[in-house]
Amino acid sequence: MNNTIKSISSLEILDSRGNPTVRTYVELNNGIRSVASVPSGASTGKNEANELRDGGKRYGGKGVQKAVDNVNNHIAKVLIGKNVNDQKDIDYSMIELDGTDNKSKLGANAILGVSMAVAKAAAQSSGLPLYQYLGGVNSVRIPVPCMNILNGGEHADNSVDFQEFMLVPHGAPSFKEGLRYVAETFHVLKGVLKKKGLATSVGDEGGFAPNCESNEAAIELIIDAIEKTGYKPGIDLSIAIDSAANSFSPNLDDNYDLSWSGLGKMKTADLLEKSAEWIDKYPIILWEDPVSEGDWDGYVSFTKRFGDKIEVVGDDNFVTNTKYIKKGIELGACNSALIKLNQIGTVTETIEAVRMCREAGWRYFLSHRSGETEDTFLADFAVAMDGGHLKTGSACRGERIAKYNRLLEIENELRGRSEYRWK
Ligand SMILES: C=C(OP(=O)(O)O)C(=O)O
Ligand SMILES: [Mg+2]
């Protein structure tokens, strides 16, 4: 059957924050049809690929009709007739058509939707589940679900500076059990917060967003919840943090303002002293963006000091772009990179970023965005990339649960062949 592209079209839909985003359909000449939706970040790195927004009054300027029109009127014309299995050629044709460094002409949101929908159509056309089409027959490792259970920073209007506190069920025997550990602890944490008179409303990724006195107080609440659920901190469940330090470094340099949670202003060296105290005292297994994206020396010092003990992940500094990841590898800034499809804008370039990490002996941490849709592409992609862990939010929001449920489905489908391990 003919697996060439017959038509491509896009539509403006809403994401989990109620903001417009792009949904794209690809139809093949063999009758196969796929659909993909594009996520959107709030705490973005300066060098992320450009998310094209309309400006003007509609949706407060956040409309994506221009990106949708770019798919319908420009991208479709170039790709119709191409073999859907030629993912790399298709992605690089769009990059060439765009012609800018950051995809600002067509929009990374326009390009990514097509790229993801092409991969899905190709998988269906090959008669394979997406994770196997992208990763091969040995794609059997289900990622450890680093579940966000407490939000701060740009993702909540509370008094916590750090953006994300995640539970990492590395001691569980399977994904299914790991997900149970974190979902149970999520519910127990709600009771712990209630008892202390703290809010149980949630932030953008579905983690609770209480007004804790400090970042330390937030960690202690989580440890209390782990113990009350009947798990052992550091053995069954550990903690991952995304400081998203850009949000408390006004000039994105080595000056930090943690006044919100009572620590005041400090330089990198003091921030590292505080981090050392916490890494010593608490079961922290992974730390993302502990310093701001401009503080490369800070990343290097942090990794030198703690890289043997914990995973040090770069997000806002690397933006899933091999140009910056390469710099990070050369400098020894971090030992892992966060991987977000829409930071770079095509499936092919995202895979190139993963490959670069792998070749350097780094880990790579697959991630959703704070603005998501019900699309489950990320779940399959994480299995295909074989990175061993992913973050995709809490146990109480449908757009996050969609990914977790898809991973349960994949683990079940693999029966006894699936693997689950932290490293
Ligand atoms: C997921 C994140 O948030 P956002 O999507 O807002 O960048 C992050 O910073 O890792
Ligand atoms: Mg981050």
**From the alpha carbon of 41, which atom of ligand 1 is closest?**
5
Is the C-beta atom of 369 inside 6 A of ligand 1? yes
Banded model confidence at residue 263, pLDDT cuts 50, 70, 90: confident
Question: What b-and-e string marks burial along 361-400, b requiring 16 or more CB atoms within 10 Å of the CB?
Answer: ebbbbbbbbbbbbebbbbbbbbbbbbbbbbbbbbbbbebb
Q: Which domains does the chain have, with CATH numbers?
A: 5-127 (3.30.390.10), 144-414 (3.20.20.120)
| Residue 140: its H or E element | none
Region 400-414 average pLDDT: 98
Active site residue 323: no
CA distance linking residue 132 with residue 128, whole number of Å: 6
Q: Looking at residue 154, what is its pLDDT?
A: 82
Q: Are strands 336-339 and 5-14 parallel, antiparallel or unpaired?
A: unpaired
Judge contact between 68 and 11, C-beta under 8 A.
yes
Q: Does 43 sit in the ligand 1 pocket, CB within 6 Å?
A: yes
Find out whether 16 and 203 touch, Cβ atoms under 8 Å. Answer: no
Q: 339 in ligand 1 pocket by Cβ < 6 Å?
A: no
pLDDT over 90, % of the chain: 94
Which residues have a beta carbon within 5 Å of ligand 2, which is an ion? 242, 244, 315
Residue 159's pLDDT is 79
- pLDDT given for residue 222 in this prediction: 98
Share of the chain above pLDDT 70, in %: 100
Span 173-205, pLDDT tens digits:
999 999 999 999 999 999 999 999 999 999 899
If one counts every other C-beta atom within 10 angstroms of the C-beta of residue 293, the result is 24
User: For the chain, what is the mean pLDDT?
Assistant: 96
Whether 340 is catalytic is: yes
| pLDDT for the residue numbered 6 | 98
Q: pLDDT at position 308, please? A: 98
Residue 157 pLDDT level (bands cut at 50, 70, 90): confident
Of 237, 201, 239, 219, which is closest to residue 160 (Cα–Cα)? 219
> What are the C-alpha distances in Å from 144 to residues 18, 340, 422?
29, 17, 6
Angle at the Cα of 130 from the Cα atoms of 129 and 132, rounded to 5 degrees? 70
What pLDDT was estimated at residue 45? 96
The residue among 421, 307, 312 whose CA lies nearest residue 364 is 312
Q: CB of 397 within 8 A of CB of 206?
A: yes
**Distance between CA atoms of residues 193 and 333, nearest Å:** 36
Residue pointed to by tokens 């449920």: 405
Q: Identity (one letter) of the amino acid at 177? A: E
Note the pLDDT tens digit of each residue in 368-384: 999 999 999 999 999 99
**pLDDT tops 90 at residue 269:** yes
Give the ipTM. 0.99
Looking at residues 327-355, what average pLDDT do you find? 98
| Confidence (pLDDT) at 1 | 59
Phi and psi, residue 102, nearest 5°: -125, 20
Say how many Å lie between the CA of residue 355 and the centre of ligand 2: 20
Which of 120, 340, 391, 403 is the catalytic position?
Answer: 340
Q: Report pLDDT for 319.
A: 98
| Backbone dihedral angles phi then psi of residue 184, each to the nearest 5 degrees | -60, -45
Which whole number is the average pLDDT over 236-248? 97
Q: Check whether 343 has a pLDDT greater than 80.
A: yes
Q: How confident is the model at residue 57 (pLDDT cuts 50, 70, 90)?
A: very high
Tell me the mean pLDDT in the region 262-270: 93
Relative to beta strand 20-28, strand 5-14 is antiparallel
